[in-house]
Amino acid sequence: MNAIDRTGKKYNRLWFVITLLAGTFTMSISQSSLSTAYPTLMRYFDISASTVQWLTTGFMLIMCVTMPMSPWLLNNVSFKRLFLTILLVFDAGTLVIVLAPSFWVMMVGRIMEAIAVGVLFPSFQSVLLTITDEHQRGKTMGMAGLVMGSALACGPIISGIVLNYFSWRGLFVVFMLVISLVFVGALGGLIRDVMPQKSSHLDYWSVILSVGLIGVLYVINQIGQKNVDWGKNSMLLVVSVGALVWFVIRQFHLTTPLLELRVMKTINFDLAVILTAISYVALIVTTIIFPLYYQEVLGVSPLISGLALVPAAVFLSILNPLTGKLADKVGFRRVMLTGMGLIVLGWLLVTALTEQLNIWIMMGCAMIIEGGNAFVMMPAVTMGANALPTQLVPHGTAVTTTIRQILGSTGVAVATLVLTTVTQHQNMSGVAASVAQISGFRVTFILMLAIELVGLVLALALRDTQAE
Assess if residue 326 is contained within a domain: yes
Residue 466 has a CB neighbour count (10 Å cut-off) of 8
In this structure, are 339 and 405 located in the same domain? yes
Q: What is the mean pLDDT of the chain?
A: 83
Q: What is the DSSP string of 165-215?
A: HS-HHHHHHHHHHHHHHHHHHIIIIIS---SPP------HHHHHHHTHHHH
In this structure, are 38 and 155 located in the same domain? yes
Predicted confidence at residue 468, as pLDDT, reads 38
Assess if residue 138 is contained within a domain: yes
Assess if residue 271 is contained within a domain: yes
Residue 356 has a CB neighbour count (10 Å cut-off) of 7
Q: Sign of the C-alpha dihedral, residues 91, 406, 123, 141?
A: positive
Predicted confidence at residue 379, as pLDDT, reads 84
Domain boundary among 231, 255, 279: 255
- pLDDT above 60 for 14: yes
- Given a contact cutoff of 8 angstroms between Cβ atoms, the answer to whether 362 and 290 are in contact is yes
pTM of the predicted model as reported, rounded to 2 decimal places:
0.79
In this structure, are 371 and 465 located in the same domain? yes
Predicted confidence at residue 302, as pLDDT, reads 66
- Given a contact cutoff of 8 angstroms between Cβ atoms, the answer to whether 63 and 211 are in contact is no
Domain boundary among 142, 163, 189: 189
pLDDT in tens, 282-324: 888 887 788 778 877 888 776 677 778 888 888 888 888 888 7
Question: What are the angstrom distances between the C-alpha of 46 and each of 98, 170, 173, 312?
Answer: 17, 19, 22, 34
Assess if residue 194 is contained within a domain: no
What is the C-alpha to C-alpha distance for residues 169 and 358, in angstroms, rounded to an integer? 36
Domain boundary among 165, 189, 213: 189
Query: For the domain that residue 100 is a member of, what is the CATH number?
Result: 1.20.1250.20
- Given a contact cutoff of 8 angstroms between Cβ atoms, the answer to whether 226 and 48 are in contact is no
pLDDT in tens, 114-146: 999 999 988 888 888 888 877 777 777 777 777
Predicted confidence at residue 106, as pLDDT, reads 93
Assess if residue 195 is contained within a domain: no
pLDDT in tens, 46-98: 887 667 778 877 888 888 888 888 888 988 888 899 999 999 999 999 999 99
Say what angle helices 38-45 and 103-131 make with each other, to 10 degrees: 150
Assess if residue 371 is contained within a domain: yes
Question: What are the angstrom distances between the C-alpha of 171 and each of 33, 55, 177, 178, 391?
Answer: 9, 15, 10, 11, 39
DSSP character for 267? T
In this structure, are 234 and 311 located in the same domain? no
Which residue stretches of 387-432 are H helix?
393-428
In this structure, are 235 and 161 located in the same domain? no
Predicted confidence at residue 340, as pLDDT, reads 92
| Boundaries of domain holding 224 | 201-255
Predicted confidence at residue 450, as pLDDT, reads 93
In this structure, are 342 and 214 located in the same domain? no
Calculate ∠ Cα 118-180-15, nearest 5°.
80
Predicted confidence at residue 466, as pLDDT, reads 44
pLDDT in tens, 419-463: 888 888 877 777 777 778 888 889 999 999 999 999 999 988 887
What is the C-alpha to C-alpha distance for residues 38 and 96, in angstroms, rounded to an integer? 18
pLDDT in tens, 355-388: 888 889 999 999 999 899 889 888 888 887 778 8
What is the C-alpha to C-alpha distance for residues 126 and 305, in angstroms, rounded to an integer? 35
CA atoms within 13 A on the CB side of 195: 29
Assess if residue 14 is contained within a domain: yes
pLDDT-derived band at 467 (thresholds 50, 70, 90) equals very low
In this structure, are 235 and 326 located in the same domain? no
In this structure, are 247 and 288 located in the same domain? no
In this structure, are 106 and 34 located in the same domain? yes
pLDDT in tens, 176-233: 999 999 999 999 888 888 887 777 788 888 888 888 888 887 887 776 667 777 788 8
In this structure, are 360 and 230 located in the same domain? no
Predicted confidence at residue 219, as pLDDT, reads 83
In this structure, are 76 and 2 located in the same domain? yes
pLDDT-derived band at 35 (thresholds 50, 70, 90) equals low
Residue 99 has a CB neighbour count (10 Å cut-off) of 12
- Given a contact cutoff of 8 angstroms between Cβ atoms, the answer to whether 55 and 106 are in contact is yes
Residue 454 makes CB contacts below 8 A (sequence gap 6+) with 278
In this structure, are 41 and 146 located in the same domain? yes
Assess if residue 196 is contained within a domain: no
DSSP character for 387? T
The total number of residues written for the chain in this structure? 468
Q: How many domains does the chain have?
A: 3
Q: Give 126: exposed, middle or buried? Use CB within 10 Å, 0-12, 13-18, 19+.
A: buried
What is the C-alpha to C-alpha distance for residues 247 and 39, in angstroms, rounded to an integer? 39
